[in-house]
Structure 1
């Protein structure tokens, strides 16, 4: 339980097994928020394995205000977007987004309409071979691609460029996206190369209208 001075504007929750070797995946929905607590619904996404008991790890992101400035792009899908300068590691990119109350792009990346709007908003992304980090990795288990909200990527969401993922030198566990071509698996820590950081966070003004 977290004590707050007032009921938060929004709450984002994700859950996964504490033992990351387990295959179980979950989606968490916030049903109701109170002054000092919240009711959440946990949906199991896998259906082929059981358990007697399981320890889960939760991560809570609590938003107490919708005052974030006017430099985020609002395409109308319930999320906001901001393009940040190039980062040479996925971790640096993710940390930069988390400092702004967000994460590397997930939901806008898998929505064709939103992705087109983002392309029109940020001319830099239209240039040839301009890529940006997205919130997708197979760090925990090779070949099992997981979004940063801890849910598995669905087949209909995939945008792999032909020949990808190729896991060059068995070191490519992160993903960058190129608007025109699709996804490329990439080393999470690069020497010399840098990619844009495209952050995503909830659109709290839209949520509370």
Structure 2
């Protein structure tokens, strides 16, 4: 990791097998942070049978400040949300969210309360528009994986009846008012699709930590 002058405000870590053909999925929890290292807990989400060792690839997002501006919406679930201003293709929306220290929406999309809060908050913006979520089967057809490298579960799914439709070119997902559709990742004009970014609410995190000390 990068050696920082002080302990970061927050750290987001995700992990996956370096050999992307392996089906194993992991969840990473940050237990403690230091200025030059971190202690993380790795949970394997699939069967633990049949492996002696495995090479993993990690991605770290380090937040050194909680200053983000006042144009993010805070529903109180530990994350912040912001719509990108223009209709766009999936890859550009994902990259733009990463530039803002976030990702395409994951946790707010699978929380019914937060999802409705967002759609009510941005009702006028979403008029006749949809938004990309951080879910694709780009790596392997039919295996839907969130952008935090964890598999979608049955309880999280909001597919429209008949979706996903099985088309090999439909590898990305848009959320409408009522359901998900799997679509071509680059046909943005057809779907009037915006990017919805999600990132940690560092102010809420630090307030919670201060209250615990």
Could you say what secondary structure the match of 2:119 adopts?
helix
8 Å contact from structure 1 (residues 17, 54) kept in 2: yes
Shift of residue 51, structure 1, vs aligned partner = 1.5
* Aligned position for 1:195: 193
- Contact (CA 8 Å) 1:15, 1:27: kept in 2 or not? yes
Cα distance in 1 for residues equivalent to 2:73 and 2:189: 29
Q: Secondary structure of 1:57's partner?
A: strand
Question: Which residue is 1:157 aligned to?
Answer: 156
1:12 match? 12
What corresponds to 1:37 in structure 2? 37
- For 2:101, the equivalent position in structure 1 comes to 101
Q: Structure 2: which 5+ residue stretches go unaligned?
A: 208-213
* Higher alpha-carbon deviation: 79-88 or 145-154: 79-88
CA distance in 2, matches of 1:48, 1:35: 33
Distance 2:111 2:188 in 1: 31
Tell me how far 1:35 sits from its aligned partner: 1.5
Q: What is the rounded CA distance, in whole Å, between the counterparts of 1:62 and 1:112 in structure 2? A: 28
* Contact residue 24 and residue 49 of structure 1 kept, 8 A: no
Relative to structure 1, the CA distance from residue 24 to residue 77 in structure 2 (aligned partners, 3 Å threshold; closer, same or farther) is same
Superposed displacement of residue 127, structure 1: 2.6
> Does structure 1 retain, via aligned residues, the 8 Å contact 2:88–2:195?
no
Shift, 1:167, TM fit: 3.0
- Give yes or no for the alignment of 1:204 onto 2:202: yes
With normalisation by structure 1, the TM-score equals 0.94
TM-score by length of 2: 0.93
1:2 equivalenced with 2:18 (yes/no): no
State how 1:84-99 maps to structure 2 within 5 Å. 84-99=84-99
Deviation by residue 1:115-170 (Cα, 9 ceiling, x = unmatched): 11101110135534x210000000111111000000000100000011110033x2
Instruction: Note the 1:39-118 alignment, pairs <5 A.
Output: 39-47=39-47, 49-118=49-118
**Structure 2 counterparts to residues 112-131 of structure 1, below 5 A:** 112-124=112-124, 126-128=126-128, 130-131=129-130
Moved more, 83-92 or 193-202: 83-92
- The 2-side partners of 1:28 and 1:124 are apart by 37
Give distance in 1, aligned partners of 2:126 and 2:139: 32
Number of equivalenced pairs: 206
Residues 1:182 and 2:179 aligned together: yes
Match of 2:210 in 1: none
Does the CA-based 8 Å contact 2:8-2:63 persist in structure 1?
yes
